């Protein structure tokens, strides 16, 4: 028994007329009659009683009709699910991010829009240091990640900078430099005597290394007071008076009662990207939809 036989049978049962059913199906009447007879022969039962005004279901036909509806409906649902999966509308997407990346307003905006556009995608959200995220993406444990400066760039991964933002100095409240930091900010050289608290080298060597290089270009070797795993930690340690730090501008609302943020007048300007990474060439539809959403919102963000 083929699905087309069930569709033919249902059409005849609903129309109660072979000719009308054939017209509905886009067939000629004789081939449809032949298909119904073939179905009856295969089942070994009579499905219709033929009369002058059309056909009526037999007891066997009535029994088959309910099951035929259920089978065709089930097949329809299966086809719909397959089509939705092919369009990336159903399934699961694993998304990783660093602490500093998720603090950028673009990240929650992308996640929110993606959830609104694809409510049937199950999002698996994970927070890890940058090095762990890149390793997880490379091992296919996470499909896509949002981080700052890539700590490594394996050849099988794609890296895309969505937006760039400046880095700010974080100083404890009452610090002498906060009082004279105008719109232009302070020169990096003015931090030469400060003790730096930075995200540790294994977790985010990109920003760490960029800060070190910038300090050396400004004529001094920075004193590293502590290396910590997360940027929220270094801001809290700045609040505690343990030193100063440098963080992306999107974190400038954190702990405002105990720290102050000011721009750096260094040239070239110290910046940090928001980077999206995934396996290069991965054609998984849900991933493609997420990447498209991230790119679309990043363009809007840059135009603000």
pLDDT tens for 92-110 read 999 999 988 998 999 999 9
91: which residues sit within 8 A by CB, 6+ positions away?
85, 121, 122, 285, 286
Query: Residue 298 has which token pair?
Result: 């990043």
Separation in Å, CA 232 to CA 176, 236, 250, 255, 296: 23, 6, 12, 9, 28
pLDDT tens for 147-195 read 988 878 899 999 999 999 999 999 999 998 988 777 778 999 999 999 9
Average pLDDT over residues 110-124: 94
68: which residues sit within 8 A by CB, 6+ positions away?
6, 9, 10
Query: Among all chains, which residue has been given the structure tokens 């969505």?
Result: 162
Contact 288, 89 (CB under 8 A): no
What mean pLDDT, rounded, does the chain reach?
90
Phi, psi for 12 (deg, rounded to 5): -65, -40
Separation in Å, CA 215 to CA 193, 212, 220, 223, 260: 11, 5, 6, 10, 20
Confidence tier at 202 by pLDDT (50, 70, 90) = low
- Sorted by where each starts, the structural domains of the chain and their CATH numbers stand as 3-86 (1.10.10.10), 92-162+274-303 (3.40.190.10), 163-272 (3.40.190.10)
228: which residues sit within 8 A by CB, 6+ positions away?
197, 198, 199, 200, 234, 237
Identify which has the larger pLDDT, 69 or 302: 69
Confidence tier at 82 by pLDDT (50, 70, 90) = confident
Between CA 291 and CA 278 the distance in angstroms is 9
Confidence tier at 220 by pLDDT (50, 70, 90) = very high
Q: What is the pLDDT of residue 204?
A: 53
Q: At residue 127, does pLDDT exceed 60?
A: yes
pLDDT tens for 43-76 read 999 999 988 788 999 999 999 999 999 998 998 8
Between CA 19 and CA 27 the distance in angstroms is 9
């Amino acid at each position: 028994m083929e699905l087309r036989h069930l569709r033919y049978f249902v059409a005849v049962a609903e129309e109660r007329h072979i000719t009308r059913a054939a017209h509905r199906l886009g067939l000629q009447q004789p081939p449809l009659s032949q298909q119904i007879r073939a179905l009856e022969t295969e089942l070994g039962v009579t499905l219709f009683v033929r009369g002058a005004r059309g056909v009526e279901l037999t007891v066997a036909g009535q029994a088959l009709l309910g099951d035929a509806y259920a089978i065709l409906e089930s097949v329809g649902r299966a086809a719909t699910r397959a089509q939705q999966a092919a369009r990336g509308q159903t399934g699961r997407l694993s998304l990783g991010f660093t602490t500093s990346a998720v603090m950028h307003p673009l990240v929650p905006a992308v996640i929110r829009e993606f959830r609104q556009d694809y409510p049937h995608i199950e999002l698996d959200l994970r927070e890890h240091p940058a090095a762990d995220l890149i390793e997880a993406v490379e091992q296919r444990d996470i499909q896509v990640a949002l981080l700052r400066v890539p700590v490594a760039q394996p050849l099988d991964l794609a890296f895309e900078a969505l937006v760039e933002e400046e880095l700010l100095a974080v100083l404890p409240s009452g610090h002498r430099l906060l009082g004279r930091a105008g719109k232009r900010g302070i020169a990096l050289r003015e931090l030469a005597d400060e003790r730096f608290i930075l995200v540790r080298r294994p977790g985010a060597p990109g920003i760490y290394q960029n800060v070190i290089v910038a300090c050396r270009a400004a004529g001094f070797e920075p004193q590293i007071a502590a290396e910590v795993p997360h940027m929220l930690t270094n801001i809290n340690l700045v609040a505690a008076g343990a030193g100063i730090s440098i963080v992306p501008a999107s974190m400038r609302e954190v702990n405002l009662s105990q720290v102050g943020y000011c721009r750096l007048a260094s040239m070239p300007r110290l910046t940090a990207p928001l980077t999206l990474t995934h396996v290069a060439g991965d054609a998984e539809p849900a991933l493609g939809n997420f990447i498209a959403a991230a790119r679309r919102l990043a363009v809007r963000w840059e135009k603000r």
